Amino acid sequence: MTTSSDLLDESPKDAAGAAPLPSATLGGEQKRSLEQITLLLFITVPFLAILAAVPLAWGWGVSWLDLGLLVFMYYLGCHGVTIGFHRYFTHGSFKAKRPLRIALAIAGSMAVEGPLVRWVADHRKHHKFSDAEGDPHSPWRFGETVPALMKGLWWAHIGWMFDEEQTPQDKYAPDLIKDPAIRSISRNFIFWTMLSLAIPPIVGGLVTMSWWGAFTAFFWGSLVRVALLHHVTWSINSICHAVGKRPFKSRDRSGNVWWLAVLSCGESWHNLHHADPTSARHGVMRGQLDSSARIIRWCEQLGWAYDVRWPSEERIASRRKAPVADAA
């Protein structure tokens, strides 16, 4: 169950006359019209690329280079989010040496899911109010009837991002704001976005020595890749809080959705995550693939990560739901 001890300290310590924490993003506490229009473009354009992907692949095919760029950039950004933004920066599932800390911040930023500090603040608030009033993106926001749930799924998947009210970063992520390097990476989100979108066409153009090679690499390695990663990530907010098995005790409706496990790098074992938020491994049962946990293990073996919060058998057992016969 999510308790106050499972989350990092959410509020800065009061100090008389203390200067306000500097902003880690370019926006303020309210989303401006320009931000919302930019957000709409970053959602719509990659999605249109997905719609065009099937006829383009059927008509012209997909080169191994383009496919390789798509897969590499997808899993670079995905693991940057799952290991970095989520398990490390949000929940403190492990400690990291400084180079790994910076690398995770940059890799996660290249997933094009928003500035690091804003992402973490939103997610910490989500855990504080998970599937209750105050949760930024619960699919149960509008009720439990079928029409209400359909509306809620849309809200949890995309709609919440257009809410004008921003999660207070100084309340939910003061620890990150105080780190100058992390604050700089977060504020320069546009740069990391442009770099993320530019790498595939640069590589594609140089390898093929053609503008067509650059274009197809941009289409598959940038646009389609970003759209796929967006919707997989957003599905954790929507689908994994509406359906799925719930073998563990949590105070919300988070569920395990097996068919998202590979694409989400282990994040879709979401019921365990909400039952034990600081666990470095989400797929704790036999056969549950969790590539993020595997990479954390490698980083630990290399000495880059330490004090990793691996779930013990006793901790897992304590969070399991009692069998129906025992609970009766």
Structure tokens at 202: 């640069």
Residue 323 forms part of a structural domain: no
Cα angle value 136/163/252 (rounded, 5°)? 15
Residue 301 forms part of a structural domain: no
The pLDDT assigned to 46 comes to 87
Residue 226 forms part of a structural domain: yes
Residue 200 forms part of a structural domain: yes
Residue 164 forms part of a structural domain: yes
Residue 326 forms part of a structural domain: no
The pLDDT assigned to 328 comes to 32
Residue 278 forms part of a structural domain: no
The DSSP code sequence of 238-295 is HGGGTSSB--B--SS---B-GGGTTTTTTTTBHHHHHHSTT-S-S--STT---HHHHH
The pLDDT assigned to 29 comes to 56
Give kind and range of the element (H or E) at residue 96: strand 95-96
The pLDDT assigned to 133 comes to 94
DSSP 95: E
Residue 264 forms part of a structural domain: no
Per the structure, the count of domains in the chain is 1
Which residues does the chain have with pLDDT short of 50?
1-6, 9-17, 324-328
Q: Which domain holds residue 128?
A: 21-244
d(C-alpha 298, C-alpha 83), whole Å: 12
For the chain, how many residues are written?
328
Structure tokens at 144: 């439990």
Structure tokens at 323: 């069998």
The pLDDT assigned to 15 comes to 42
